[in-house]
Amino acid sequence: MTQTRIAGVIAAVPTPFDNHGDIDADAFIEHARWCLDNGCDFLNVLGTTGEANSLSAVQRAALMTTAAHGLDGRRLMVGTGAPDLETTAALTRRAFDLGFAAALVLPPYYYKPVEEDGLFAWFAELVRMTAETPISIYLYNFPQLTGIEFSPALSARLSQAFPERIHGAKDSSGNLAYTRELAKIAGFGVFPSSEAALADAGRDGYAGCISATVNIDPRSSQQLWRDQENAELLEQVRGLRQAISTHPLIPAVKHLVGKRAGNTVWNKVLPPQMPITDRTRLESLDALRIGALVDA
């Protein structure tokens, strides 16, 4: 299998659940195909937006199989991180076997604080355990949730030690000064979590973006990726993201996906997430004027 270095506009896709909490495979595939057909270069499956850490390893493996069988795996990145190495390695090996383009891996987030040598040793062991299934690995930096930050020095050390496997990072910190430092690492593809950062991709060296709100209007993000100096387009993309982000992000994204798809299954979230039930919030979301939704 040829390893893939990904780039461009990537939606962090949500996961639909029925009233019993089971994954709705048909709704998932419908939305994923819509995203790929309407501006996304790749998709990130089973990330934070996909509520991956509310799912068991068995459930995650099942959704990985659904995605691989229903979509082009070469356009999919999948979250495989867990606090323990065995689960992370097993999911990462499965991602390779199913033909995914890359694995997005959280740090082992239970023990904190942790020395950088310990983090390096953990990822070195993951590389060793998956040597026969050498899928591309991207680091997932989300210190607000994990309590752990991949320092630029550690990221460079991992990239230099394992250049054939560790190819970049998604940064959900929201700290673009930090993101710019990561992007200076040679051969290291860095993806901010906001599509508004696409306007600075050429200047700052970003490989694209991986964003929850791309699910709602991927076409505008793709246009901005291709026309990074378009100030009017940047304002449109930034405004939509900010409007959605004033609400709880995961249920807000799922509500808008359900509106576009005409499918109420998307309104279900897993605890500890809670659905949006406040009428004012729902009316605010429904009032958003989005080409992708208005056309639906």
pLDDT mean for each 10 residues of the chain (296 residues): 78 97 97 98 98 98 98 98 98 98 98 97 98 98 98 98 98 98 98 98 98 98 98 97 97 98 97 96 92 45
Any domain includes 56: yes
Whole-number Å distance between alpha carbons of 171 and 276: 27
Strand partners, 8: 208
Any domain includes 148: yes
pLDDT of amino acid 30? 98
Structure token pair of residue 125: 């062991």
Between strands 8-12 and 208-211, the pairing is: parallel
Distances in Å between the alpha carbon of 88 and those of 4, 55, 93, 225?
20, 13, 9, 32
Any domain includes 37: yes
**Which amino acid, residue 112?**
K
Any domain includes 260: no
Q: How many domains does the chain have?
A: 1
| Greatest pairwise CA separation for the chain in angstroms | 52
Any domain includes 236: no
Any domain includes 262: no
Q: Is 210 annotated as a binding residue?
A: yes
158: containing domain? 8-228
- Please answer whether residues 100 and 130 qualify as being in contact, where contact means their C-beta atoms are separated by less than 8 angstroms: no
Burial 149-185 (b: 16+ CB within 10 A, else e): bbebebbbbbbeebeebbbbbbbbbeebebbbbbbeb
Residue recorded with tokens 């949500």 = 14
Which of 109, 110, 138, 140 is flagged as catalytic? 140
Any domain includes 206: yes
- Please answer whether residues 75 and 36 qualify as being in contact, where contact means their C-beta atoms are separated by less than 8 angstroms: yes
pLDDT of amino acid 61? 98
Q: Is 277 annotated as a binding residue?
A: no
Q: Coil, helix or strand for 272?
A: coil
Q: Coil, helix or strand for 171?
A: strand
- List, in sequence order, the alpha helices (H) in 76-115: 85-97
Angle between helices 25-37 and 57-70 in degrees, nearest 10: 50
- Please answer whether residues 234 and 221 qualify as being in contact, where contact means their C-beta atoms are separated by less than 8 angstroms: no
Any domain includes 270: no
Instruction: Give the CATH number for residue 165.
Output: 3.20.20.70
Q: Which of 114, 41, 123 is nearest to 81 (CA)?
A: 123
pLDDT of amino acid 203? 98
Q: Coil, helix or strand for 97?
A: helix
Which of 111, 112, 138, 170 is flagged as catalytic? 170
Asked whether the bond before 113 is cis by omega within 30 degrees of 0, the reply is: yes
Could you confirm whether 140 is annotated as catalytic? Answer: yes
Whole-number Å distance between alpha carbons of 211 and 191: 9
